[in-house]
Structure 1
Amino acid sequence: MDCEDGIFILLFLLVLTILTGFSRQIYKYGKIVAFDEMISRLEKGNRLKKKWEKIEKDQREEQEKRLNDYLNDEREKEKLWLTKLMNKYEDRLDKAAINEQKLKAELEKKDAIVQKYKSEAEELRRQFRQSEEHLECELQEIVDDLICQEKRRRDEIQAERDEEEFDKLDEVSEDFDDQCEMVHVSENIEI
């Protein structure tokens, strides 16, 4: 590294330091300008807000004055209209009360009819249960009869089989007796 390189490095560092200082000053100045702009905008906004509040207040007062005038003029009209309306609704309420009484009477009649049908349905259920029990008894008797008939039929079939077996046994025993006699006779002959 020679002198020129050292000088070049020193110059570079000097330029870098100067630029850093300037950039800090520019940054500070930019902040100050931004704060000034913000403050001026806030002041302008406050002035506009005060103007707007004054305009709103004036409009509100004017509207209230017009509304009071209108209400004073319309109050009498509304009183007449309300009395007519009240009379109309009183008539409707009277009609509704009459209709309600009619509906209550009809409801009582329908309740009586429903109770009548309920009692008839209960009677029909009772009769159905009785007939069902009777049918169950008859069905059980029929089943018992069928079982007895089946037992008798089986007993008859068994008796026939037993008789056939008895006959076979008789034949076998007769054959055996015959053979025994033949053997006995042959023994007697030999003796």
Structure 2
Amino acid sequence: MLEQLLKVNNGILTKEQLTNQVVSYDELGRAEQNIDIKQFNDRLYYVDGYYDHDYLLQLSHPDLVFSRDTAVKYHWLSNQLPYELYVTLPTTYKKTVQSDYSKVNMMYEDLESADIELIETQEGNFVQVTSLERTLYDMMQDKSCPMDIMKEIIWNYHQAPNINKERFIHYFGQWYHLEDSKEAQKLLQQHVSYIDTSFKSWKQVTRLV
């Protein structure tokens, strides 16, 4: 029974699934010896070789959203960032996020549904990630991001096939009722004044509004 459950669930089982299927701890113990089941935390088990860290973390914390540098990776906006785990959680969230990474950068904000999308991991599971435009906006607010990486992020955003013009306007102009690209560019420069505005893709990006 246990091996069938693992096959159906892509090598991952929750404590609730084990309880609902009346899998005894003796059976689980035997399985750990025979098919190399490992425990991710007190709620999740996985078969060695099916390990998908971000998906397991998502199952452990359903309200968690991968953001900032981690979202940049998921959207393929840059591959230069030194990888650290960045997550956003609701402001009322109290649970501790435990991860294999030495450092988990946690931010607390009540994101809108439009700020979030589902993206497939390399292992074929889906996790919550800040949207393309929200990720761009967050990184533009982060003045610790090196200039060359920020330029790469802007360039790759411009090349992305799934740009959402309405969300771009929402983040960079809608609040101010901007009417033309000059005003939009001025606002963008206020947000990212540390970026060299001579970068050749800059005007291409601002034309989106």
Which of structures 1 and 2 has the bigger CA Rg? 1
Structure that is richer in helix per residue: 1
Using the size of structure 1 for normalisation, the TM-score is 0.17
**Which of structures 1 and 2 has the larger relative contact order (alpha carbons within 8 angstroms, sep 6+)?**
2
- TM-score w.r.t. the length of structure 2 is 0.16
Identify the structure with the greater strand proportion.
2
